[in-house]
Structure 1
Amino acid sequence: MKRLISAMMAGLALGAVSPCAIAAETWLPVREISLEIRPGSPLDFSGMLPNRPIGVRAGSGADQRVIARQDGRLTFADSPGEPARLFCASLAWSPASGGFPDRAGADRYARQLALHGYNIARLTFLDASLMIGRARDFDFDPETLDRIHYLLAALKRNGIYWMIDGMTSWHGAYGGRDERWDPGGNLKLALHLDEAAFAHWKQIAEKILTRVNPYTGIAPIHDEALALVILVNENSLEFESVVHDRPGKAPYDAMFAAPFNAWLARRYPSSQALAKAWGGLGWGEKLENGTIRLPTDRYVPSPRLRDLQAFFTEVETASAAKMSEALRGFGYKGLISTYNNWPTVQAALSRRGLDVVTMNTYHDWASGYAPGSKLLQQSSLGDAANSMRMAAAARWLGKPFVISEYDHLFWNRYRYEGGLVFPAYAALQGWDALCRHAHGPIALSYGEPYPHKRAMLPYAIALDPVARAGETLTALLYRRGDVSTSRLTIPFAVRGEADLGPNMQAREPEKLTELALLGRIGLQAADRIGDQIAVTQPRDANRLDAIVEKLRASRMLPAENETKLAAGLFQSDTGEILLNRRDRQLRLTTPASEAVAFAAATLPASLKTLSVDGAQGDGLIAISSLDKPASLAKGSRFLLIFATDARNTGMIFRDREEKVIEDFGRLPVLIRKGHVDIRLARTARQWQLSPIGLDGSVKPPAVSGSGPVAFRLSNDLPSGPTTYFLLELKE
């Protein structure tokens, strides 16, 4: 975890300015302006993935809420037989990204989300948007509030449920704050311990959730469309302390000192007992007069840090219960979560009593938008999908699990991997909702006049053809259910406070979380595991190869499973997912979809239906049936997705490795030129491949033939580059 924090908070050395690291690459400008999917086009998923009506059967007695089943899966109250897979649209608008749309825009936007296949939306930073430019506390901007209410109604009309933060901004609803999206103040810390801060949070939740929406006729808190409330976004005490780290500043806020001393006094009978447990006390420290100091370095393990973790867990557990009780007092009957990031052992203990576990995770975290912002340019396949595995290890088995934020961030050149890694493994793990973070996941067009829409940026996927291609694939692999859920479950035993050690940053060992590449993993109380094959305590007593051998011997892993740990080869128990860490390749083989994310040097790659014989550059190629029922073996219409890389016109980097940005550039977006040589295990009397515009419009055929289906697919097209193609077969 210290390496993770260092990657997030520390800088990289800067190199020489270089506008392009690989001169041989060719970049093709996107010509399209409109990004609105055309109804009835191959990219219109609303027929294939219809959204259920919400709240239109008033008086019928039907309950259409999202609920948790006994087995811990999310489902719909009126049809609990099938788990719900919620494909989430992240709506984190700010003035820089255009803010909340007017009524006509909201109608268009909500309809477009439904066409893309989304069935839930996460609304975050509502408090910040409502308080822009407001001088007095809780003086919500009336026009913004009206737009939020109308958008909620538009989403509901399109069958899109809501996930809402009770509070997101560090400034809450205090008036007179200039920058509401940047960390500032200590409200998120204080509300755990200070009654005035808690009352402020409670009033935010009350004013946002209990006010009647004039466009639905009901307050959001009572609306069946409200599926989940996240009490406060990213509110763990340790994480918030790291966010507020500054040179020369103590790592822990002084507000913790008195309650920590009181907590220690309840735990230890005397200063002598505490000194024995900690191996001594500092000069002037005495339990009896409350002068025990907070740790001075969060990265140096110590018994003091071990006790601070136990204190944080107790405070966070009580705080979540208190905030949940407040929502219940307002009449809320739905699901609640909080502490939706920070995959440490301590944070996991704070989440064990929640209705739903939520988690945020990122691959190759980008440090910001300013010149000099940095990322690492690392492959997620090269680290065996570690950001996914960190999230998987934070899950509590028997509880719903929601990824409230994830991304493989722009301008990482390997982000084509993200569109396969996360939906494939989310489906394998049986996660309940998947939300790729963004200002908004789609845009209605290129060229909107807002600062954050004049070019592709980190934490914004709407303008990025590579990220959008990944979201299209996610709708099929994850929401449609093309990828099977694992039959294998490997619990990670949890005893409770006994699992806390002296390292504040301790998390589940990366080597053991590689089990998530084989089957479902998650935390479970040690006394409930019984004779299951499990990761036991203490963690250092476990060997990954021994656990895999037990799984093979018990036939929980099939005999033909291709997992070879020493070779960096991991195959799911379903046989559908094969990750080759050394080759930086991920293969997916299902009856309805096949895909491979690849480094060109590792080709050819042969799956059951799809073979890729060669390629110009690294990328992702996927094929999915558009037929009903969906079948690669028998279908006649297929969506092909081909993603390479994309950047802005005029991007400049400070180094040859393109880790440090100097200038993000401008529109138009450029797609890296590439091609793949493809064969299908199909023949046809006639077949043709047609490019599909980013708006779903089908262009004239680019390739056609008869007999064996084999062709070169190129994104360098007369109509301009694209990531989508329609393959049609006539027997």
Structure 2
Amino acid sequence: MTFPRLLLLLPLWFPFTVASAQDKVPFVLDWATHSRSAIDLSRFLDAPAGRAGFVRPKGEHFVDGEGTRIRLWGVNLGGPSCFPSHEDAEKLAESLARLGINCVRFHGLDSNWGISSIDRSGGDTSRLDETSLERFDYLFDQLRRRGIYGNINLNVFRTYGDEDGLPDPQDLGLAKWATHFYPRIIELEEKYAVDLLTHVNRYTGKSYANDPAVLVVEIVNENSLVEGWLNGKLVGHDDNSGDTWSPLPTEYAKELNRQFNAWLIENRSAEQRERFRSDADLAANAPLVLLAPSQFSSATAERFATDQEFVVDTERSFLRRMKTLIKDEVGLKSMLIGDADHNDSVNGFPHMINNALFDYADGHGYWQHPSIGKITRTKNDPMVNDPSDSTMVQFARAPIVGKPFVISETNHPYPHRYAVEGIPLLTAYAMLQDWDGVFFHEFGRAVYDNPDAIGRNGWFNLSTDPIKVAELMCSALMWHRGDVQSAKQLIVRQHTVDEIMANSRMPSWEHRPFFDDAFAKTLPLVHRTRWRLVEKPVKAEYPPSPGINDIVSDTEQLRWQGADKNRGRVTIDTPKVQATIGFQRDAEHRSYPGIRHLSVDVKNDFATVILTSLDDQPIASSKKLLLFVGDRSANEDLTWEDDFQTVANWGNGPVAIRPLQGKISLWGLQSGGPLTTTVLGSLGQPTDETWTTYAKDGGWHVLLGNPVGSMAILER
């Protein structure tokens, strides 16, 4: 019988019981009407990008050529999305500007599918595709004209061809580990960097090495030889699938071990080398092989330190070589970084030390990144219930004293049931930490493709998700205006190189992300934190743990409550923005207390409500406010297996939202006229619809749910 099986295909909208059909309502993003939006954030952009000269680091922040601080609010464009037609490039640039985006990270110009900057027609990857580059040139110029900078990634999705002069290129996958040491691959990387950065844009008349609209160039994307070693990816395998994280094929592992033995001759005595051979039961003068993770615990401290030093040195040598090429020989005038901190399941600090060679520190991180492929699985836990492991805490390990910090990849990937918490939470705490940039991954092509559904495997696609796009608008206001104060106190974590290296032997999962057990994981939700290297060990003296029950920032503007009872809620309480994010009722099913200007009483169990000023005045005196109310968004026919973690049916759409039902109340508004509402369309287009408002008990109250919407303008 099939009937019991149908009961297992529960819809996305299931909170504790199956939601009724009317709970989900189609709410498609119509990008063709974006120009009619009442929310135009292009006023925060300084056009054209680069007008005031090259952006550079100054202390822990970025400044333009005039010395004015610049903070990055960005998105990624992935692979073929970097090469739209001219017409589509204009649409995309215009929409991104209206959303307040001031930088685009071009992530995958070297893509191995669809349109690419690499001409693969000859079976190799050593030549640029001039037709594709013309499209990229036009997009770059359209963005530049509107005040949007570019972040150029050099190595992301590159695979190699049979004519590239490499053994078994099909087994390399993305060559994550070989990029750092294999001579022929490094030659190809160098040629690509030179060719792309010296290429003269047909529309700007400048090379990418000499254009102030280029904010930064990134050398590699999540390629760490240290990570590869710690995760056992450097042991040779001949049965590779050739995917993103494939281990080294045997021929490449042999070359790495050849380099290891040559390094040992230069850096370790003959007596040490023979001692290593004896410990490994090898004959005299036999070549040594890098330790595998299964050997870490039994290896002597001397041997473990030796292998790790070689891996770290090899990675650093590659980064230095590329830095010399790009900055000194090519003459790049923009900023340069090597790679991002991106894997909190291993000790990432040796990798971060290597990347301290560059202009700023970078981080990547996702809340419960799905297991992707033929089957999509995601844990579907709310982040508000796990502050200690939140993405903000994970990111907080990477910022270095004296350098800016940027998050260049993050998302609550689709179809996570609690994704509505992600964007505003990250924005608020990034401001508390006084970080310098946030890039959401990735924007997608919906502006010109105009689909009515979230496409299959669109885990990261923002431009088809009406809730995330609306939150981008609200959060951009908060970010550009600096509505959330940076924390008053800075906590500096100090470590020696030896301490950091020794931490690689610690059980990663128990000690992540800081590998400093004296430092409470939730402290970054209260104070700013950075780390630095010191020559001698320093006894740590940190503030006490704030726990997870009631975490209040030292500015008192951010408050994280209820995680200890799995009813987490975060509030943002500032003069120009008020928000409540997460569960809207406590463990006793009572509505959480309101904040200064906002209280929420809705039937929805989990939601985000944001009230923000549109005229840049404090909410108390503002004449024009923007209200966002959001629960979930997904394809209308998306279904889950009974574990509520495995997608059973991706669905064909249309994309739908679960509207909020109930009321929100505004308090402490200065005297003015009646409160009127204009319900907005999915991109902020004004409609003729309104939400009912009434005054009572000294406040104004707004009834939600009919008509359906996620945003409204409130005027007095």
Taking structure 2 as the reference length, the TM-score comes to: 0.85
Is 1:573 the counterpart of 2:554? The answer is yes
SS at the partner of 1:606? coil
CA–CA distance in structure 1, aligned partners of residues 354 and 36 of structure 2: 47
1:75-108 deviation digits (Å, cap 9, x = unpaired): 1112x1x4211101211143xxx66221111111
**Take 1:709 and 1:33, find their aligned partners in 2: how far apart are those partners?**
33
Residues 31-63 of structure 1 show CA distances to partners (whole Å, capped at 9, x for unaligned) of 54522564474321123x23332356xxxxxx5
Distance 1:186 1:375, change over 3 A: closer
Asked if residue 437 in structure 1 is aligned to residue 441 in structure 2, the reply is yes
1:491 counterpart = 2:492:
yes
RMSD over aligned Cα, in angstroms? 3.2
From 77, 81, 88, the counterpart of 2:74: 88
Partner of 1:43: 39
Alignment partner, residue 5 of structure 1: none
Q: Deviation of residue 339 (structure 1)?
A: 2.2
- Corresponding position of 1:360: 364
How far apart, in 2, do the equivalents of 1:388 and 1:183 lie?
36
Quick one: distance in 1 between partners of 2:349 and 2:238?
27
Q: Which moved more, 1:384-393 or 1:564-573?
A: 564-573
Among candidates 689, 692, 701, match of residue 690 of structure 2: 701
Partner Cα separation in structure 1 for residue 317 and residue 164 of structure 2: 31
1:74 counterpart residue number:
62
Separation (CA, whole Å) in 2 of partners of 1:243 and 1:597: 40
Deviations 1:105-144 (A, max 9, x none): 1111101111100111100110122237633433443332
Displacement after TM superposition at 1:361 (Å): 0.7
Who is 2:569 aligned against? 585
2:599 corresponds to 1:611: yes
- SS of equivalent to 1:513: coil
Of 28, 34, 54, which residue of structure 1 is paired with 2:30?
A: 34
Distance in 1 between residues matched to 2:55 and 2:350, nearest whole Å: 29
Matched, 1:383 2:383: no
User: What is the deviation of 1:527?
Assistant: 5.2
What is the match of residue 680 of structure 2? 692
Judging changes above 3 Å, is the alpha-carbon distance between structure 1 residues 379 and 314 closer, same or farther for their aligned structure 2 residues?
same
Task: Output the CA distance in 2 between the equivalents of 1:643 and 1:305.
Answer: 51
State the shift of 1:442 in Å. 6.1
Instruction: Specify the alignment match of 2:542 in structure 1.
Output: 547
Residues 1:319 and 2:318 are matched in the alignment: yes
Quick check: 1:166–1:231 contact (8 Å CA) kept in 2?
Answer: yes
1:142 to 130, 133, 146: 130
Matched with 2:336 is: 336
1:423 equivalent in alignment to 2:427: yes
Report if the CA contact (8 A) 1:192-1:198 is conserved.
yes
Give the aligned partner of residue 48 of structure 2: 53
Structure 2 letter corresponding to 1:565: P
Q: CA deviation at 1:569?
A: 2.0
Query: What is the one-letter code of the residue matched to 1:24?
Result: A
Q: For the Cα contact (< 8 Å) 2:100–2:476, is it kept in 1?
A: yes
Q: 1:24 is matched with which residue?
A: 19
SS of 2:38's equivalent?
coil
Aligned residue pairs total 661
Asked if the contact 2:9/2:648 (under 8 Å) is kept, the reply is: no
1:714 equivalent to 2:704? Answer: yes
User: 1:217/1:309 Cα in 2 relative to 1: closer, same or farther (>3 Å)?
Assistant: same
- Are the counterparts in 2 of residues 167 and 205 from structure 1 also a CA contact under 8 Å? no
The 1:28/1:350 distance shift into structure 2, 3 A limit, reads same
What is the DSSP-based 3-state SS (H/G/I as helix, E as strand, rest coil) of the residue aligned with 1:500? helix
Superposition deviation, residue 25 in structure 1: 5.1
Which of 660, 668, 679 in structure 1 is aligned with 2:646? 660
Separation (CA, whole Å) in 2 of partners of 1:247 and 1:604? 57
- Secondary structure of the 2:56 match is strand
Give the 3-state SS of the residue equivalent to 1:422 in structure 2: helix
CA distance in 1 between partners of 2:96 and 2:295 (Å): 43
| Distance in 1 of aligned mates of 2:162 and 2:489 | 49
Q: Deviations over 1:565-586 (max 9, x none)?
A: 3453221111111112323111
Q: How does 1:385-424 map to 2 (within 5 A)?
A: 386-424=390-428
Distance across 1 between alignment mates of 2:361 and 2:542: 26
Aligned ranges for residues 226-237 of structure 1 at < 5 Å?
Answer: 226-237=214-225
Alignment deviations for residues 299-341 of structure 1 (CA, whole Å, 9 cap, x no partner)? 8585444433322221222211110111121111221112212
- Can you give the 5+ residue segments of structure 2 that lack an aligned partner in the other structure? 241-245
Closer/same/farther in 2, CA of residues 614 and 243 from structure 1, 3 Å limit: farther
Please give the alpha-carbon distance, in whole angstroms, between the structure 2 residues aligned to 1:456 and 1:464. 13
Query: How far apart in 2 are the matches of 1:258 and 1:186?
Result: 22
Q: 1:382 offset after TM fit, Å?
A: 1.6
Whether contact under 8 Å (1:653, 1:662) holds in the other structure is yes
Q: How many angstroms apart in 1 are the aligned matches of 2:599 and 2:255?
A: 61
Judged with a 3 Å threshold, the aligned counterparts in structure 2 of structure 1 residues 270 and 513 are, in CA distance, closer, same or farther, namely farther
Equivalence for 1:200: 188
Q: How does 1:500-519 map onto structure 2 within 5 Å?
A: 500-501=501-502, 502-503=504-505, 505=508, 507-509=513-515, 512-519=520-527
Q: Provide the rounded CA distance (Å) in 1 between the counterparts of 2:238 and 2:560.
A: 41
- Aligned partner of 2:529 in structure 1 is 521
State the AA in 1 paired with 2:649: D
SS of 1:43 mapped into structure 2: coil
Q: Deviations over 1:270-321 (max 9, x none)?
A: 4557748x9x7122165x4432443253885854444333222212222111
- State the 1:188 CA deviation: 3.8
Return closer, same or farther for 1:410/1:273 CA change in 2, 3 Å cut-off: same
Correspondence list, 1:176-215, <5 A:
184-185=172-173, 187-215=175-203
Q: CA distance change for structure 1 residues 233 and 688 in 2, over 3 Å: closer, same or farther?
A: same
| 2:97 aligned partner, one-letter code | A
* Conserved? CA contact 1:428–1:483, under 8 Å: yes
SS in 1 for 2:422: helix
Distance 1:274 1:522, change over 3 A: farther
Aligned counterpart, 2:282: 284
% identical equivalent positions: 22
Q: Tell me the CA shift for residue 198 of structure 1.
A: 1.3
Call closer, same or farther: CA 1:119–1:30 in 2, change over 3 Å: same
Equivalents in 2 of 1:705, 1:382: separation in Å? 34
C-alpha contact 2:91 2:447 (8 A) present in aligned 1: no
Q: 2:470–2:682: 8 Å Cα contact kept in structure 1?
A: no
SS class of match (2:378): coil
- What's the offset of the Cα at 1:670? 1.5
Q: Structure 1 residues 338, 441: CA separation in 2 closer, same or farther (over 3 Å shift)?
A: farther
Q: 1:132 to 1:575 in 2, by over 3 A?
A: farther
Aligned-partner residue type, residue 529 of structure 2? I
